[in-house]
Structure 1
């Protein structure tokens, strides 16, 4: 846990939160009401302090992903949200607002007026060979190439 992290503080019982679920590796809570993108908007966070998907343990990331799925399923069952947007920003230059791994699970309904899709494209240019380098890096870390 990081002393200066708002999510770590909440996990430690410092401050108040509207907890939706508390588990051993992942938890879910409501953001402050002024931060809601839709009624029922929920944050799923890792219980271990990690900034993003790049540095969280695989066990914790798996539990976070499974909790995202469970929250989405229960949003359909309990509040009639047949769709969700799952939003995440991880690491430097990603516009991450809190340096602790978290996913926004935003319930969606037909004609709800919310647009969460990215508008615009990056102007960054990659050098030749980037795809081969990415593939080679994934192979060297033991990832399946499928």
Structure 2
């Protein structure tokens, strides 16, 4: 398995070198808006500990990571009035992983509406900011 690249985009976001619309942060995990969302409210949950993916991660990070995944999933469902939530996590190129820092996609889902391709264009910053505010409000109301 390849070594962890400290210059991957999520590592840069964690260090504050690249801006993001953060919706949650604690000592172990951050959550922020995906800039190429597959649907409204598409959020990424990322452990602060460096690991390429689930296959090489220290198992001790899974508890804090998935606790936040659940919190964010409940918040995005509420914030967007979604019918459900898709949780995705990819490992290595054959699975579709393109950023080599462990992360979990949390995507609100609506009956009869398919996901957009993840390879599409970047969302407008003001749309991401509005979505982030909705999620932060839903998290605060819990």
Task: Give distance in 2, aligned partners of 1:87 and 1:30.
Answer: 14
Is this contact kept in 1: 2:37–2:116, CA < 8 A? no
Matched position secondary structure for 2:60: helix
* Higher Cα Rg, which structure: 1
Structure that is richer in helix per residue:
2
Corresponding residue for 2:73?
A: 72
Is this contact kept in 2: 1:30–1:42, CA < 8 A? yes
Work out which structure has the larger RCO, using CA pairs closer than 8 Å and 6 or more positions apart in sequence: 2
Q: Deviations over 1:14-70 (max 9, x none)?
A: 1111111111111101111xx110000000111111011111122212111111111
Mark the runs of 5 or more structure 2 residues left unpaired by the alignment.
Answer: 118-142
Matched position secondary structure for 1:93: helix
| Change in CA separation of 1:37 and 1:115 when aligned onto 2, cut-off 3 Å | closer
Cα distance, 1:94 vs structure 2: 2.2
Aligned-CA RMSD value: 1.9
1:20 aligns with 2:23: yes
Is this contact kept in 2: 1:75–1:82, CA < 8 A? no
Task: Give distance in 1, aligned partners of 2:52 and 2:103.
Answer: 9
Structure 1 length-normalised TM? 0.71
Structure 2 length-normalised TM? 0.73
Task: Give distance in 1, aligned partners of 2:116 and 2:6.
Answer: 35
Mark the runs of 5 or more structure 1 residues left unpaired by the alignment.
Answer: 117-146
Task: Give distance in 1, aligned partners of 2:77 and 2:95.
Answer: 29
| Change in CA separation of 1:115 and 1:10 when aligned onto 2, cut-off 3 Å | closer
Corresponding residue for 2:101?
A: 100
The count of corresponding residues between Structure 1 and Structure 2 is 114
| Change in CA separation of 1:55 and 1:97 when aligned onto 2, cut-off 3 Å | same
Corresponding residue for 1:10?
A: 13
